[in-house]
Structure 1
Amino acid sequence: MSHVQSVERTLKILEILADSPEGLSVTALSKTMELAKSTVHRLLSTLVSKGYVQQNEQNGHYQLGIQCLVIASSLLNNLDIRTVAKESLNSLAVSSGEVVHLCIEDKNEVVYIDKVESDQTLRMYSQIGRRAFMHCTGVGKALLSGFTDKKLNHLIDEKGLRKFTDYTITEKDALRKELTEIRERGYAIDEQEHELGIRCIAAPVFDHEGNVVAAISIAGPADRVTKDRVNGELAKEILAQSQMISRKLGYLK
């Protein structure tokens, strides 16, 4: 497959700036990309003229521009699952008092496509548009419960089973056993496997053909989202809402 170098470099700039909310100078960008400052400046000038990048007048640093948000919003608005799931997400947030997520799988990764914040302060990794590994998150394991053995093996070969905390599942057989349990009970649990102190319960969402197309979750501090609460009231709530979303997508089981 042939690639257009200038396009690749331009996209790389956008990806780097996306991970640098405070912005970067031309010097920092050129160093990161291992390109001449003149080349990076030329690419930036085009991006600025089209609104995809903006320059901070105070420090001269470059940041993502409004046009990126316009495109991202258009994409998100066209993901029907967000519209279908919105009522259920809000309902879960109110009933649980915790943070609620809606996620999909893309290229063997979790992508957060919607989030309802809790009234209570909580610092978490998740935010709309962010990606995460699948084996160590509640939503990721809920999505993995719909994978075939072949697809699961491919994911493990490609992504590995990286350890984030002492609770992270890092063995293939242990992950397969976990997925079997998830299919049986209908929901997944992130037992502080991605972030210490954060416990999560998640459930898969099915389309009209019975495919797992998304996952929803409730997450919060482990001392508030206790094991008893997860396996009791939260399990009932998230299963009810995941089933409701699935029915709206045409799932009849």
Structure 2
Amino acid sequence: MNAVQDGDGDAGSEKERRGIQSIEAGGQLLLALGAQGRPMPLRELARAADMAPGKAHPYLVSFSKLGLVTQEPSTGHYWLGPTAMQLGLVTLRMLNPVREAIPFAERLATQQGHSVALSVWGNQGPTIVFLFDAIYPLHTNIRTGTVMSLAGTATGRLFAAYLPPRLIEESLREDNRRLGPDIAKPIEAEQLQPMLNEVRRHGLSRSVNNPTPGVCSFAAPVFDYSGNIVLGITLMGRSSSFDPDWDGPQAKAARACGAEVSKRLGNLTPRTG
């Protein structure tokens, strides 16, 4: 009796996991439209979804009735419909950049063994809002709530590179006043612009033994669906175990993490220039 009950339970779980294949198949058409990012003719859309046009068409008719796709009268091309757009907007409104970034940042810290900090643009400038410690003692004065120097830190220069200049002008003027004991050598104004250009060129900001001697870091931008920077992810560690090369493992890991979170926030083509 017990064996029969156990078998029935397993069968029920398997049915629940199996789902409805026709919905999954039709969903490939929606995914293909989203991935291509443009209206598509039936044959091209079907090919992108790895489906025969004759099979794809009934799905598109049903999706059109639901408003998930629409067909352009002039060309007959298919595109995402008003219902799909509305669902996307609802999702974007509910997204919280910090909440979305936390699991990615934690994984980055675990994989690399170094510290990872999440920062946002606050009332006084770039502000640390979350910190994952390294697996070894790392001596910095960075804590949750720390306001970072805009010119003198990798985190600060990241925001300076991607925010509108008029927004950061006042913070740059106040930078020297806000410098804490963790800032060893502030960056001079004439040095700043070339460094910001470097950030945009590499899609990363970098600090090597400055402001804190013996500590290197890479800060990666996170962009939202509108292409605006909303978050910084800073990977930092001891110079002795941290590769400062722009194409080194730490740089690649930080850059990839920023791109992953950007994608979660609806940005498929993060700016790097």
TM-score by length of 1: 0.62
Alpha-carbon distance in 2 for matches of 1:128, 1:152: 21
1:211 pairs with one of 212, 225, 228? 228
Unpaired runs of at least 5, structure 1: 1-77
Alpha-carbon distance in 2 for matches of 1:224, 1:121: 13
- Amino acid in structure 1 at the alignment position of 2:193: R
Matched, 1:169 2:193: no
Alpha-carbon distance in 2 for matches of 1:127, 1:154: 24
8 Å CA contact 1:108, 1:134 repeated in 2? no
Matched, 1:156 2:156: no
RMSD, aligned α-carbons? 2.2
Unpaired runs of at least 5, structure 2: 1-93
8 Å CA contact 1:197, 1:221 repeated in 2? yes
Alpha-carbon distance in 1 for matches of 2:224, 2:133: 26
Name the structure 2 match of 1:200. 217
Task: Tell me by how many angstroms 1:97 deviates.
Answer: 0.8
Task: Tell me by how many angstroms 1:95 deviates.
Answer: 1.8
Alpha-carbon distance in 1 for matches of 2:184, 2:95: 33
Alpha-carbon distance in 2 for matches of 1:135, 1:157: 10
Matched, 1:145 2:157: no
8 Å CA contact 2:243, 2:250 repeated in 1? no
Alpha-carbon distance in 2 for matches of 1:99, 1:219: 5
Task: Tell me by how many angstroms 1:79 deviates.
Answer: 8.9
Name the structure 2 match of 1:95. 111
Matched, 1:111 2:119: no
Task: Tell me by how many angstroms 1:252 deviates.
Answer: 2.2
Render the CA deviation track for 1:203-236: whole Å, top value 9, x for unaligned. Answer: 11101111111100111111221324x6411111
Aligned sequence identity (%): 23
Task: Tell me by how many angstroms 1:108 deviates.
Answer: 4.2
Render the CA deviation track for 1:10-48: whole Å, top value 9, x for unaligned. Answer: xxxxxxxxxxxxxxxxxxxxxxxxxxxxxxxxxxxxxxx
- Amino acid in structure 2 at the alignment position of 1:226: D
**Map 1:13-162 → 2, pairs under 5 A:** 80-160=96-176
How has the CA–CA distance of structure 1 residues 251 and 79 changed in structure 2, closer, same or farther, with 3 Å as cutoff?
Answer: closer
How has the CA–CA distance of structure 1 residues 149 and 173 changed in structure 2, closer, same or farther, with 3 Å as cutoff?
Answer: farther
Task: Tell me by how many angstroms 1:237 deviates.
Answer: 0.8
Alpha-carbon distance in 2 for matches of 1:195, 1:79: 34
Higher mean C-alpha displacement, 114-123 vs 143-152: 143-152
Task: Tell me by how many angstroms 1:136 deviates.
Answer: 1.4
- Amino acid in structure 1 at the alignment position of 2:228: N
Alpha-carbon distance in 2 for matches of 1:243, 1:227: 19
Alpha-carbon distance in 2 for matches of 1:113, 1:154: 22
1:181 pairs with one of 190, 198, 220? 198
Task: Tell me by how many angstroms 1:141 deviates.
Answer: 1.1
Render the CA deviation track for 1:101-134: whole Å, top value 9, x for unaligned. Answer: 1001113422111111111122221111222222
Alpha-carbon distance in 1 for matches of 2:173, 2:95: 29
Task: Tell me by how many angstroms 1:199 deviates.
Answer: 1.0
Alpha-carbon distance in 1 for matches of 2:95, 2:124: 18
State the secondary structure of the residue aligned to 1:132: coil
Higher mean C-alpha displacement, 98-107 vs 192-201: 192-201
